[in-house]
Chains A and B, each alone.
Chain A
Amino acid sequence: MVFETNYKLVYLMKLEEKIQILADSAKYDVSCSSSGSTRKNKPGGIGNSNLGGICHSWTSDGRCISLLKILFSNDCCYNCVYCVNRMTNDVPRASFTPDELAELTINFYRRNYIEGLFLSSAVLKSPDYTMELLLRTVKKLREEYSFNGYIHLKAIPGADYRLIEEAGRLVDRISVNIELPTQDGLKRLAPQKKKESILGPMGFINSQILEESAAYKRRKKSRIFVPAGQTTQLMIGATPDHDLSILRLAEGLYNHYSLKRVYYSAYIPVATHPNLPALSGPPLLREHRLYQADWLLRFYGFSAGELLNETTPSFDTDIDPKCQWALSNLHLFPVEINKADYQMLLRVPGIGVRSAKRIYAARKVCPLNWESLSKIGVVLKRARFFITCRGKFFGESSMNESLIRENLVTKNKSAVKPAWEQLSLFSYLPGATKLPNDFSANITGEL
């Protein structure tokens, strides 16, 4: 049989090559966090998890390596146009065996190279077939190797819920990647995936988590179904969706699916296709702004609708989302540091969660003066336009939007300097410069 000969060939391929191929294709998944779990080691076992997560190395793109992030297989039978592993792409293919992967994980772990395993896969033969292989790998690690380190598993869209539920009892975190923020995007770029096959398992996982935490409260037993919760990833820049629709989607996921994290990944042009935008490079600045806004949603009490709206559907490139919000709400400022309530402190540009907490606690002991603010960690360069300290205002200009704005624009953009280009998002390939009518209708429809 063709399949069997292929399989043998793949099997015999050296481990080194497999790692190369399967790590290379996994690298675009940005979530690598190992946080949120408190799994403990057991007698005779190896591994535990650290609630805050631990980074083990940083690659030369500056991203942290925490988990061994790798695909079980890149031999995909789907054909998502934005993906290197799509069926019709001519790339070397490889698949692990559960044994190989378990052995590799344990040996990396013993040397403290990694915090655990982040296992994902292309769709090998069928969603169920793939999910079963992933499940076998995870089972081997937990049961045969007594491995108690962190495991993040990607659920394969379309796989049987029973497999997902069984895996969920063994791992710390599960994610299903949405990737494309709108149904229209899915249709054009990932024709074999349906909205239901993605949101379905997410809803299922969420209901399992909720059910178990209810039981947890009743019977005080410890949670075992994905203790670190579920996450997802949205791809930025492969579709014409605005920041507003992306942020609204994220907000919905936090509120209705109780997601732990939404990750944003700047689309890296790995393929050319009439349905894909021509980018000169990944839209890293957009990705950065979305992460900043995501923090504002999760820790600062903002809602998507406060940050962006139909007239301003995208984030400012020059200033961060909080400054953008503050500038359009100048009537709320300046606030007095020694009086403002905690929620308002959080909304001041230049004050983070940590400094807001410290201000709140410290001013009860003694009123704060200007000097103590910078010691607390307030970024006065930004904050001074929005606060008074013992009644005194320290910004040099009166509250005038354009003047303050000028002052807030970071002169030095080196932090996010790579080749991003907003305009090119919408400049399509030469052969496809004319956008189909329903296309733009769909965009505005989303807004």
Chain B
Amino acid sequence: MLIYLYDGTFEGLLTAIYQAYYRREKPDSITTGSAMQTHLFGRTVQITTDSKKAEKVSQAVREKISPAALSNILFAFLSEQNEATTWVYHYLDLGWKMGKNVDLCLNHNPVLKILDLARKVKGERHRMLGLIRFRRLNLKYDIYYAPYKPDYNITGLVAPHFARRLADQNWIIHDTGRNLAALFNQKEWLLTEFQLDKIPSPAANEETYQKLWKNYFNSVTIKERYNPKLQKQNMPMKYWRYLIEKN
């Protein structure tokens, strides 16, 4: 068994794919160094991330397969599912042969897996565009802070949306599960490791608006149509923790 070990970044994965092609090898698995147990069963190759090689691969995917294929593999990668990286490799393998029709090969397992993962990640991203809640903090600088805990690693996917939309405020979107945050200073955003022991106290009017929002939320419910099952189906309870209106 041939195992490629990479550093867990998307660039690293693309580099691994470049290497497989260059070395004319067919790795059985592409995985991060932390999954040590797999080493017992085969030969391992350590991949050194190289952004030039990664860029070459991403360009080839865009041109030889399709731009959609590139976003599919990025989304699938961000699902952080165990096998996702290996599926990406097999998906591209077929992609080089099929071109943009690769997404139509629905008899092919890796295609189904990649499309399915991409759909899930896209879905959570879209949901979070609505469910992220900012609170204004009482700090020297005016900052809006939004903690959330998504299943998938989507902070880098939601940040551009808020950078366009809330362009005239400073904000932080904090993935509390991964200790990762997007920071925005009204000009540009960046992704960084981030931890807070305690959320700083809220700004002067913050609690008033939270109260008004809860108030609004409760007033628009039509009690004759009460249907909490449908509510939970649309807005799973795992996301309620950071929702102002649900606390």
Contact = CB atoms under 8 A, between A and B. Distances in A.
Contacts of B126: 52, 54
B130 interface: yes
A40 B165 CA distance: 8
B229 interface: yes
A46 B165 CA distance: 6
Interface stretch (A3-11, A15-23, A393-401): A15-23
Contacts of A52: 126
A54 B165 CA distance: 13
Interface in A73-117: 104, 107-108, 110-113, 115
B206 to A, nearest CB: 9
B233 A362 contact: no
B228 interface: yes
Nearest to B129: A54
Interface in A31-88: 40-41, 43-48, 50, 52, 54-66, 68-70
Nearest to B126: A54
B144 interface: yes
Nearest to B116: A375
A24 B219 contact: yes
Contact of B223 (A15, A47, A61, A372): A61
Contact of B222 (A47, A48, A66, A268): A268
Contacts of B235: 57-58
A111 B134 contact: yes
A112 to B, nearest CB: 5
A149 B165 CA distance: 8
Contacts of B205: 107
B81 interface: no
A27 interface: yes
Nearest to B132: A112
B216 A68 contact: yes
Contacts, number: 159
Chain B CB within 10 A, most for which of A40, A52, A60, A107? A60
Nearest to B235: A58
A365 interface: yes
A108 B209 contact: yes
A335 B164 CA distance: 48
A371 B135 CA distance: 49
A2 interface: no
A20 B216 CA distance: 6
A26 interface: yes
A65 B134 contact: no
Contacts of A69: 220
Contacts of A62: 225, 227-231, 233-234
Interface string A413-429: 01000100000000000
A28 interface: yes
B167 interface: yes
Interface residues of A, number: 63
Contacts of A332: none
Contacts of B127: 55
Contacts of A43: 167
Nearest to B127: A55
B217 A57 contact: yes
B192 interface: no
Chain B CB within 10 A, most for which of A15, A149, A362? A362
Interface string B129-153: 1111111100000001010000000
Contacts of A414: 229
A418 B226 CA distance: 8
Contact of A20 (B105, B164, B219, B230): B219
A113 B167 contact: no
Given A65-B217, A65-B220, A113-B133, A16 B211 contact: yes
Contacts of A200: none
Nearest to B144: A110
A12 interface: no
A229 interface: no
A56 B245 CA distance: 11
Contacts of B229: 62, 414
B106 interface: yes
A60 B213 CA distance: 15
A366 interface: yes
A365 B133 CA distance: 45
B112 interface: yes
A282 interface: yes
A25 B134 CA distance: 28
Contacts of B157: none
B70 interface: no
A216 B59 CA distance: 36
Contacts of B209: 107-108, 111
A371 B112 CA distance: 12
Contacts of B1: none
Contacts of A28: 222
B165 A41 contact: yes
A70 B219 CA distance: 10
Contacts of A110: 134, 136, 144, 166, 169
A235 B228 CA distance: 24
A284 interface: yes
A15 B129 CA distance: 28
16 contacts: A15-B212, A23-B216, A23-B220, A44-B168, A46-B167, A50-B161, A56-B130, A58-B231, A61-B222, A62-B229, A65-B220, A112-B166, A146-B168, A358-B106, A365-B101, A366-B105
Q: Give the top 8 A-B pairs by smallest Cβ distance, nearest first.
A: A62-B230, A61-B225, A23-B219, A62-B227, A56-B130, A59-B221, A58-B235, A27-B220
Given A23-B220, A56-B130, 20 more contacts: A28-B222, A45-B167, A48-B164, A56-B131, A57-B245, A65-B217, A69-B220, A108-B212, A110-B136, A110-B144, A111-B135, A111-B209, A113-B244, A113-B245, A268-B224, A282-B225, A364-B104, A366-B107, A369-B107, A414-B229
